[in-house]
A and B are shown apart, each in its own frame.
Chain A
Amino acid sequence: NAGVTQTPKFQVLKTGQSMTLQCAQDMNHNSMYWYRQDPGMGLRLIYYSASEGTTDKGEVPNGYNVSRLNKREFSLRLESAAPSQTSVYFCASSDTGIRPNQPQHFGDGTRLSIL
């Protein structure tokens, strides 16, 4: 059972380049999330998708776009990368169907450096 899979695991970009981070889950979860974690800080929510076909902004959405491709996949795109977007990006999913307050399950992250 793979859970939440993120690709790539590492990436180095130049300022101004674009890139899409991929996330897929195999737990049939309704909701998916993108967070970023900067050194010494907690995770901050970038965007989330409560269900297939919907997306909403989180705390720090500027500079990012997302696509909920289908129930399994939720991608995060940086259109014009900036050094301030150097971070570790985590994708998560949760089952928000009938049972409330189900926990979020995380992938192992994409470590992104922008020069």
Chain B
Amino acid sequence: DAKTTQPPSMDCAEGRAANLPCNHSTISGNEYVYWYRQIHSQGPQYIIHGLKNNETNEMASLIITEDRKSSTLILPHATLRDTAVYYCIVRGSNDYKLSFGAGTTVTVRA
């Protein structure tokens, strides 16, 4: 039961902003949107999460639409080290597991 839909891949130029879309049209009121990334051979790395307001931290910004059916992760100045698989995950407050789908493979090119 896929809760999120992401494009399978995208390219980004180094130094430019990377905008990663995610659709979660069946999200319910108590479910948060989380973003993780996995660089080859490493464990998943937490990036950011939010409920309905836009969020920003040192790594990225998360923009959630007003109806909460979609969101965008923004990496403001992509570097080669940002090449990774990015996962958008919807998780409720009572859910212990994170359900990782296929994610988006982001390749940052020099």
Q: Which residues of A contact B (CB under 8 A)?
A: 4, 31, 33, 42-43, 45, 48, 50, 56, 58-59, 90, 92, 100-101, 103-109
Is the pair A48, B97 in contact by a Cβ cutoff of 8 Å?
A: yes
Judge whether B46 and A48 touch: CB under 8 Å: no
Q: How far is the CA of A105 from the CA of B36 in the complex (A)?
A: 10
Which one of A42, A92, A101, A105 contacts B101 once the chains associate, using CB atoms below 8 Å?
A42
Chain B interface (Cβ < 8 Å from any Cβ of A)? 32, 34, 41-46, 49, 51, 87, 91, 93, 96-103
Q: Is the CB of A43 within 8 A of B96?
A: no
A43 touching B44 in the complex, CB below 8 Å, given contacts A103-B34, A104-B98: yes
Known contacts A103-B34, A104-B46: does B100 contact A33 (CB below 8 Å)? Answer: no
Assess the B96–A108 pair: CB atoms within 8 A: no
For the complex of A and B, list the 10 residue pairs with the smallest distance between their C-beta atoms, beginning with the closest. A42-B100, A106-B43, A45-B97, A103-B46, A43-B100, A108-B43, A106-B44, A100-B93, A48-B96, A101-B32
A sample of 25 inter-chain contacts (CB < 8 A) reads: A4-B43, A33-B96, A33-B97, A42-B99, A42-B101, A42-B102, A43-B44, A45-B96, A45-B97, A50-B96, A56-B96, A58-B96, A59-B97, A92-B44, A100-B93, A101-B49, A101-B51, A104-B46, A104-B98, A105-B46, A106-B44, A106-B45, A106-B46, A107-B43, A108-B43
